[in-house]
Amino acid sequence: MLKTIAREPLVHFLVLGGLLFAAWSWLAPQPDVGPEVIIIDQARLDHLETLWTAQWKRAPADDDRAAIIDRHLRQEVFYREALRMGLDQDDDIIRTRLAQKMEAVSSDLGLLMQPPTEDQLRAFHAARPDLFTLPQAFAFRQVLYLPAEAGDAVETTLAALQGGAEIPPDRRNKLSVPLDWALTSTQALENAFGGGFAKALGTLPVGTWSGPVRSGLGLHLVQVTEGQPEQLASFDEIRDYVARQYEYYTVLDAQDRMYRDLLDRYEIRFEADGIPDSILQDYVRP
């Protein structure tokens, strides 16, 4: 019987509660200067009423207001006493919640930095050429022969084109691929042609028909009309785009940066066993 009672969670709770209360009465320092103050100012009351209104879809009546205030005071009193007794220490739920809140604050910091200054944007533009580089690009005309159609026709047509002939009608939109290509990045060209076609364009003369060049589709005669080398787009031309990317990456980076900064304020000592050196190294101070 006694064993059963001893296993009851409620009994645990009551006994533990009793002990806590006894300890508290004995240990807790009693305030010597009057009672502690809980202020309910206009801002606080407005906030509470707004939350209530959002939940209940109407403005609170006086009865409701009494309930709102009572509920708030109840929470506040228990909250303060819990803090006083250190109940927030080493509680996994509170630990997790606070850490998450701090993380959220760090990403909010990213947002609070807006709007960035001109200098910040220029620095970001310079620091991230991977985001702002115009890739190598080409404009050209092309004539396609499938592997099975190749042979003499390719050389014959090349000679004719070089002599100023028109593109043969049966080559127009071969495989639904257009003849004329406006300035297009090599990445997009590789997706459209495959087989290393885009890379080969850089080796061709500009202005004259040449080839054949192999692609994932077949063999191409190509007249490059414009070649543009890879280059960093000038800041002034893409300022808005830089700002958009800055905003995105700033938010992404904020959390990690804050974590690293905060981590630097601590010395991490490992007193547990079995942690590989590679992990220990990550946290050793230089």
Partner 1 sequence: MTHARLLTLIGGVLAASPLIAQTSEADAPANPLKEAYFGEEHVHTGVSMDAFIAGNRLTPDDAYRFAKGEEIMVNGSLHKIKRPLDFVAVTDHSEFMGEAYSLMNAGAPGYDDEIAVAFRTAPDLETALGLYNQYVLIPLAGGGDPHPAFFQGEEAIKSTWQKNFEATETHYAPGTFTTIHAYEWTSAPGGSNQHRNVFFRDTNVPDLPFSSNEGDDPEQLWAWMQTQRDDGKKVFAIPHNSNESKGLLFAEASLTGVPIGKDYAETRASMEPLIEMMQVKGNSEVIPNFWPNDEFADFENAVSIQQFSGRGFVKENFVRYGLGRGIKYNAEIGVNPFKYGFVGGTDNHNGTPSNVEEDNYTVGSHGYADQTAEIRSTSVLEGEMLISDANPGALTAVWAVSNTRGAIWDSMLAKETFATSGPRMKVRVFAGQGFADSYDSYDALVTDGYAKGVPMGGDYTGTKAPQFLVWAMKDPIGPNLDRIQIIKGWYEDGEMKDIVYDVVASGDRLQADGSVTPIDAPIDMSTGAFNPDKGDPELAGVWTDPQWDPQVEAFYYARVLQLPTARWTLYDELRDGVTYAEDVKRELVERAWASPIWYEVN
Residue 125 within binding range of partner 1, rule CB under 8 A: no
Buried b (16+ CB within 10 A) or exposed e, 207-232: eebbbbbbbebbbbbbbbeebeeeee
Three-state SS for 143? Answer: strand
Residue 191 within binding range of partner 1, rule CB under 8 A: yes
Quote the least distance from Cβ 234 to partner 1, whole Å. Answer: 9
* Nearer residue to partner 1 within complex by CB, 30 or 55: 55
Q: Does residue 85 contact residue 66 with C-beta atoms inside 8 Å? A: no
Residue 114 within binding range of partner 1, rule CB under 8 A: no
Asked whether the bond before 169 is cis by omega within 30 degrees of 0, the reply is: no
* Nearer residue to partner 1 within complex by CB, 208 or 234: 234
The stretch among 32-40, 70-78, 164-172, 275-283 that binds partner 1 (CB under 8 A) is 164-172
Q: Is the dihedral of CA 248, 250, 253, 258 positive or negative?
A: negative
Residue 153 within binding range of partner 1, rule CB under 8 A: no
Total count of residues recorded for the chain: 286
Quote the least distance from Cβ 111 to partner 1, whole Å. Answer: 10
Residue 169 within binding range of partner 1, rule CB under 8 A: yes
Task: List all residues 6 or more positions away from 238 whose beta carbon is below 8 Å from its beta carbon.
Answer: 132
Residue 127 within binding range of partner 1, rule CB under 8 A: no
Task: List all residues 6 or more positions away from 173 whose beta carbon is below 8 Å from its beta carbon.
Answer: 179
Quote the least distance from Cβ 130 to partner 1, whole Å. Answer: 9
* Nearer residue to partner 1 within complex by CB, 21 or 259: 259
Whole-angstrom distance, CA of residue 53 vs CA of residue 55:
5
Quote the least distance from Cβ 273 to partner 1, whole Å. Answer: 25
The stretch among 31-39, 58-66, 72-80, 209-217 that binds partner 1 (CB under 8 A) is 209-217
Total residues contacting partner 1 by CB under 8 A comes to 46
Asked whether the bond before 115 is cis by omega within 30 degrees of 0, the reply is: yes
The stretch among 10-18, 50-58, 65-73, 270-278 that binds partner 1 (CB under 8 A) is 50-58
Residue 116 within binding range of partner 1, rule CB under 8 A: no
Residue 227 within binding range of partner 1, rule CB under 8 A: no
In this structure, what DSSP letter does residue 237 have? G
**Count of CB atoms within 10 A of residue 141's CB?**
17
Could you list the beta-strand ranges (E) of the chain.
Answer: 133-134, 137-145, 180-185, 209-214, 219-228, 231-232
According to CB under 8 A, which residues from 15 to 44 bind partner 1? none
Quote the least distance from Cβ 125 to partner 1, whole Å. Answer: 12
The stretch among 34-42, 92-100, 119-127, 268-276 that binds partner 1 (CB under 8 A) is 92-100
Structure tokens at 149: 């159609």
Binding stretches for partner 1 (CB under 8 A): 51, 54-55, 57, 96-97, 100, 132-135, 137, 146-148, 169-176, 183-185, 187-188, 190-195, 215-218, 228, 233, 237-238, 240-241, 244, 252
